[in-house]
Amino acid sequence: MAKTHRPSPLEMMNDLSLREIVWRALQEDIGTGDVSASLIPDNIEAKAHIVSKSKGVIAGLILVKLTFKILDERISFIPELQDGQRVEKGDIIASVEGQARSILMGERVALNFLQRLSGIATKTATFVEAVKGYPVRIVDTRKTTPNLRLLEKYAVRVGGGYNHRFGLYDAVMIKDNHIVALGSISEAVRKAREAIPHTMKVEVEVTNLEQVREALRARADIIMLDNMSPEDMKEAVQIIDREALVEASGNITLDNIRKIAQTGVDVISSGAITHSAGILDMSLDFEEKNDDKSYNL
């Protein structure tokens, strides 16, 4: 994937929490100790390569590095690629070198992170590719794996997508239930504005054109068209006429996404790019020893 001119997506991550997530994952796998790796004498060094077993976009190398460094700070981590780059089957993504025992101990955790995030980046890239040429953003949702949201939203950015709000706390989303409870779209928006910081936006979810007009009158910052037909979306875009951002949502697939992009919406949000991405398959291959000096595993 050609790297975009956007600031490196890595920079938006909170590095401070990554160590904690990786540490937990290592604890989960190692528990009271790796009974297999402990059999290997501690003077055996090895070098191993993370190799892609299919085609896709890489995301999450920092987690591979952290996994091995937390386990054993003497391990060298050598990235051969960077997050955001495309791989073909057989490409070496990164290498690690150090005590064979430590490499074996971290292998599964490192791959579990990298495969999952690369899977999300890859799926996102497919969606982004599908709308090429249209000025529309592919964004994620809150349908992420519990306790991995920060990582999965990062993978979406790596894949060329953008993020929607990070949680319930950083933007208002007014849905039908809020509207029923508060009386009307305009009343809901008014109450939201009165309660929230002036630094925060209000998004309204609508299902028909009448609601589009009401949300527009209520001066919503973003209007989300939920499960509307492409025809209605097109009309909604015309009604809104740049007075609010327009987001399309609901059952977005590779089949219909280009059609939706053509309606002129600003943003298309998809849960599938995170919750149904699958993994990008990889393996950790140990280098063969070919002399009696170096890697003897």
Taking CB under 8 A as the criterion, which residues in 156-175 touch a second copy? 162-175
CB of 130 to a second copy, least distance (A): 19
**Does the CA dihedral 62-63-66-67 come out positive or negative?**
negative
Cα 205 to Cα 193: distance, rounded to the nearest angstrom: 16
Catalytic site residue from 175, 190, 201, 234: 175
Binding of a second copy by 14 (CB under 8 A):
yes
Active site residue 165: no
Report, in Å, the least distance between residue 274 CB and a second copy.
10
Using CB under 8 A as the binding rule, whether residue 227 contacts a second copy is answered as: no
Q: How far apart, in whole angstroms, are the C-alpha atoms of residue 149 and residue 216?
A: 31
Which residue in the set 87, 116, 120, 128 belongs to the binding site for a second copy (CB under 8 A)?
116
Judged by CB under 8 A, the stretch of 4-12, 75-83, 121-129, 254-262 that binds a second copy is 4-12
Our answer to whether residue 55 is catalytic in this structure is: no
Dmax over CA atoms of the chain, in Å, equals 79
- Tokens 């077993």 belong to 53
Nearer to a second copy, 163 or 262 (CB): 163
289 is catalytic: no
Which of positions 244-273 make contact with a second copy (CB under 8 A)? 245, 247, 266-267
- Yes or no: say if 223 and 93 are a contact pair by the CB < 8 Å rule: no
CA Rg value for the chain? 23
Q: Is 31 in the site for a second copy (CB under 8 A)?
A: yes
Of 238, 8, 271, the C-alpha closest to 127 is 271
> Should residue 290 be labelled a site residue for a second copy when binding is judged by CB under 8 A?
no
Q: How far is CA 279 from the centre of its chain?
A: 12
Stretch that binds a second copy, among 25-33, 81-89, 211-219, 254-262 (CB under 8 A): 25-33
- Check binding of 142 to a second copy (CB under 8 A): yes
* Backbone phi and psi for residue 208, each to the nearest 5 degrees, phi listed first: -150, 170
252, 260 Cβ separation under 8 angstroms: yes
Residue 175 a catalytic site member: yes
The question of whether 205 is a catalytic residue gets the answer yes
Residue from the set 133, 147, 290, 291 that interacts with a second copy by CB under 8 A:
147
From 143, 191, 193, 258, the catalytic residue: 143
Query: Is position 54 an interface residue for a second copy (rule: CB under 8 A)?
Result: no
Q: How far is the CB of 114 from a second copy (least distance, A)?
A: 11
Strands (E), 1-139: 45-52, 56-57, 76-79, 86-87, 92-99, 137-139
Amino acid, res. 216:
L
Tokens linked to 51: 């190799």
Q: Measured at the alpha carbon of residue 68, what is the angle toward residues 62 and 74, in degrees to the nearest 5? A: 115
Our CB check for a second copy shows the closer of 133 and 167 to be 167
Q: Does 239 bind a second copy (CB under 8 A)?
A: no
81 contributes a contact to a second copy by CB under 8 A: no
Catalytic machinery residues = 108, 143, 175, 205, 226
